[in-house]
Amino acid sequence: MENQSNEMVLRFLSEPSNINFGGNVHGGAVMKWIDQAGYACAANWCSSYCVTVYVGGIRFYKPIGIGDIVEIRAKIIYTGTTSMHVGIDVFAGKPQSHEQVQTTHCVIVFVAVDNNGAPIPVPKWNPQTEREKILENYALKLMDLRTGIDEEMKKLGKVSEK
């Protein structure tokens, strides 16, 4: 796979149709962009269709203004047998300032699937740099935390039950 990459960057201008009642970009729009960038990164890595199975710890640091240049950086930070953990960082800033600030961060887990929706193996990602090793360790720590969260959620059951 000569064009395979573990990184993807999407850039675009935020638009008035993305506005919330506070006058900034709606968090739901940001979440959609995050999922799109994550999907593009994961699908490029595994050369297959993938589905989102987990979005964890999304953190909004700062609002995104209308007309800001938005840059979404997606990066494979860990691969399992069929899953890919994608770290996502969102940056934004006015086009006139040439400066961007981080607005959002999260990790999304995607699973590669075949035409019948069954999970299929993905290529192994092997961290090369010290930073990549730190990111892989971060993904592993988050996996451990998710296990505890899943166990607690199972105890509670469905929130909507009476």
Q: Answer whether residue 131 is part of any domain.
A: no
pLDDT in tens, 108-120: 999 999 999 999 9
Instruction: Supply the pTM of this predicted model.
Output: 0.88
Q: What is the CATH number of the domain that holds 99?
A: 3.10.129.10
Closest residue by Cα to residue 74 from 130, 35, 128, 48: 35
pLDDT in tens, 127-161: 999 999 999 999 999 888 888 777 777 777 766 66
Q: Answer whether residue 112 is part of any domain.
A: yes
Q: Answer whether residue 141 is part of any domain.
A: no
If one counts the domains in the chain, the total is 1
> Are 38 and 72 spatial neighbours (Cβ–Cβ below 8 Å)?
no
**Domain interval for residue 37:** 7-125
Q: Answer whether residue 130 is part of any domain.
A: no
For residue 108, which amino acid is it? Answer: I
Q: Answer whether residue 63 is part of any domain.
A: yes
Closest residue by Cα to residue 6 from 138, 145, 142, 127: 127
Pair of tokens at residue 14: 């935020």
Q: Answer whether residue 37 is part of any domain.
A: yes
